[in-house]
Structure 1
Amino acid sequence: MKRATLLLPIAAIAAALALSSIFIVDEREKALVLQFGQIKTIKEDPGLAFKIPLIQEVVRYDDRILSRDIDPIEVTPLDDRRLVVDAFARYRIVDVERFRQAVGAGGVPFAESRIDTILRAQMREVLGSVTSSEILSADRAALTLRIRDAARREASSLGVEIIDVRLKRSDLPEQNLDATFARMRAEREREAADEVARGNEAAQRVRAQADRTQVEIVSDANRQAEITRGEADARRNAIFADAFGADPEFFEFYRSLAAYRASLLGENSTFVMAPDSEFFDYLKSDRPAAQTPATE
């Protein structure tokens, strides 16, 4: 009985020691077996693994892609227009041994603090080498690639791979918004004034061309009208000449009637003439004075 009583605690202790020497590595993690702080074994494959109880300990690190938000920082691009930039990064622990040696017992929080420092420095360096227009434009993927590549080189000493870096927000500081909006408004007003000036210049060219075309058309029409009028006058004179040659007496009668019509108008000035004037020959007789027989 006494022996059985002694064996039970021993068996329990042995079982506890056996169980404590076994650990399981998940497929989403990597494990290090440490002995007095020194790395003894690296377990990267999932499954059962063993360690020495009470002497060795297991430290686990996430093997998945991790995300890290970077606190907003203020950068000054080449055009001195300060911007507040907010970014995030994705990283992964690729070398757990180097990672442990670099961060020690600080673990992931210490590593993320180092990653933040690296990313802030690279963001200030890269974004400070371009203008704010390039940072605020939609096509800024090249800038994030430069930040990622530079940060990846530095983070490799931590056993970490920077997989991606993205700029979430790029805004102006609150104290600069009014001045920036005023400058943008002035630039737009200047561009609008330039457009108006160019429009007025084009309108003047079109108006001048239209006036020139109008003058040319009117001049050509007047020329053609004068030609037509001259031809008509020539035909009229030819008709008068033919009529005068065919019947001189009728031509004289017609000329007298035309003279009466032109002279005896209400708006003409008043004039006094003798009744026996040759002007009234056809009013007194159907024959001119030269052909009317003398009365006794």
Structure 2
Amino acid sequence: MNRIGMIVLGALVALMVASSTLFVVDQRQFAVLYALGEIKEVIAQPGLKFKLPPPFQNVVFLDRRIQSLDSPETRPIFTAEKKSLVIDWLVKWRVTDPRQFIRNNGTDVRNAEARLSPIVQAALNEEVTKRDVRAMLSSERDKVMQGVIARLQDDAKAFGIEVVDVRIKRVDFASNITEAVYRRMESERKRVANELRSTGQAEGEKIRADADKQREVIVAEAYRDAQKLKGEGDAKASALYADAFGRDPSFAQFYRSLEAYRASFRNKSDVLVVEPNSEFFRAMQGAGSGTAGPRK
């Protein structure tokens, strides 16, 4: 190998050694510097940093941003009134003590989440069992979340993390409880519907009875007025007849005979048998002779 080759090889080796001694710390990370397998330094300030080349020193990075941990599975929790609820939760956390975090969980975030999840679930169980369903569904959710955060503080310090927030995403009844609630709601709605239906029927009967009463009153009053008018008309007619008959009695007798004939022979098939010497027959004979005379 010639002199130029030796220089190039030396430059490459020097470059490799220099690159192994330099590293960049991002503002979103912690840099944990190891010296012979032990933590020597935790670097939080971003920028270009120096270290000894491996195997004397190496560096591991931890994410310092806020992490999210969802409830791994839906487990029923019993309230103070022994009602089973299914609660989905969300925990926000971040690394605050990299040394403590690595001692307890290593450098893998999933190890911390696997240990943190049952602790969160236990803290949530303790808070829920002190409250009833109404409180969990509406009024005391914030108190439950604050209580869980307070219960997690000591465990979080042991993990080298900080619990930033705990949120309850969903509160629901277990499947068997949900079905029972739906059945109870259905029966309640049916009861209300039956009450409204019976009330409507009672109101309908009342309205119909009042309408029938008013109809009877109106018909009775109309019949009364009709009878009154009829009586007045009959009285006026009787007065007119009396006045007319008083002026000419023979005409009155003749008119009454005609009315009697009209009443006797309403149909063509009617037959009347009378004695020849009866006044009715004589009147008919007189009427007949009176009408036959002019024809001759």
Could you tell me whether the CA contact under 8 Å between 1:70 and 1:86 is conserved in 2?
yes
2:103 maps to what in 1?
Answer: 104
Name the aligned partner's letter for residue 79 of structure 2. P
- How far apart are residue 123 of structure 1 and its match? 3.0
8 Å Cα contact 2:276/2:282 also seen in 1: no
Deviation at 1:76, TM superposition (A): 2.0
- Pick aligned residue for 1:152 from 149, 153, 161: 149
Q: CA deviation at 1:36?
A: 8.0
Give the Cα separation in 2 of the matches to 1:186 and 1:263: 81
CA distance in structure 1 between the aligned counterparts of 2:186 and 2:33, rounded to whole angstroms = 65
Structure 1 contact 24–47 (Cα < 8 Å) conserved? yes
The yes-or-no answer on 1:44 pairing with 2:41 is no
The 5 A counterparts of 1:159-178 are 159-167=161-169, 170=172, 172-173=174-175, 176=176
Cα shift at 1:216: 1.0
- Spell out, residue by residue over 1:117-162, the C-alpha distance to the aligned partner (whole angstroms, 9 max, x if none): 3321233244442328965xxxx6973x445433333245343233
2:211 corresponds in structure 1 to: 213
Which residue identity does 2:217 align to in structure 1? S
Q: Deviations over 1:40-85 (max 9, x none)?
A: 5442232122346666654421122322232222212355442444
> 1:116 Cα deviation (Å)?
0.9
The total of aligned residue pairs comes to 262
| 1:15 positional shift | 8.1
Please give the alpha-carbon distance, in whole angstroms, between the structure 2 residues aligned to 1:70 and 1:233: 97
Equivalent position SS for 2:72: strand
Structure 2 length-normalised TM: 0.66
Question: Deviations 1:187-234 (Å, cap 9, x if unpaired)?
Answer: 414522431342132123123213312321332233133213312321
Does structure 2 conserve the Cα–Cα contact (< 8 Å) formed by 1:151 and 1:162? Answer: no
Once residues 263 and 197 of structure 1 are traced to their aligned partners in structure 2, the CA distance between those partners, rounded to angstroms, is 67
Equivalence for 2:291: none
The 5 Å alignment of 1:111-126 reads: 111-126=112-127
The 5-angstrom pairing of residues 190-209 of structure 1 reads 190-209=188-207
Q: Distance in 1 between matches of 2:243 and 2:30?
A: 133
- Shifted more, 117-126 versus 80-89: the winner is 80-89
> In 1, are the aligned partners of 2:76 and 2:85 still within 8 Å (CA)?
yes
1:280 to 1:90, Cα distance in 2 relative to 1, 3 A: farther
- CA 62–274 in structure 1, closer or farther in 2 if over 3 Å, else same: same
Counterpart in 2 of 1:76? 78
Aligned residue identity for 1:151: V
Q: Which residue of 2 aligns with 1:289?
A: none
Q: Is the 8 A contact 1:33 1:41 kept in 2?
A: yes
Alpha carbons of structure 1 residues 149 and 193: separation in structure 2 relative to 1, 3 Å: closer
Describe the superposition over 1:248-267 as per-residue Cα deviations: whole angstroms up to 9, x where unpaired: 4344444454455556668x
- With 40-49 and 30-39 compared, the bigger mean Cα shift is at 30-39
SS at match of 1:247: helix
Instruction: Determine if contact 1:122/1:147 at 8 Å carries over to the other structure.
Output: no
Please name the residue that 2:224 is paired with: 226
Gap change, CA 1:195 and 1:170, over 3 Å in 2: closer
AA matched with 2:163: E
CA distance in 2 between counterparts of 1:281 and 1:33 reads 155
SS in 2 for 1:45: coil
1:4 alignment counterpart? none
Please give the secondary structure, in 1, of the residue aligned with 2:61: strand
Structure 2 runs not aligned, ≥5 long: 1-10, 288-296
Q: How does 1:260-275 map to 2 (within 5 A)?
A: 260-262=261-263
Cα distance in structure 2, aligned partners of 1:36 and 1:196: 82
CA RMSD of aligned residues (A): 4.2
After superposition, the Cα gap between the structure-2 partners of 1:77 and 1:30, relative to the gap in structure 1 and judged at 3 Å, is same
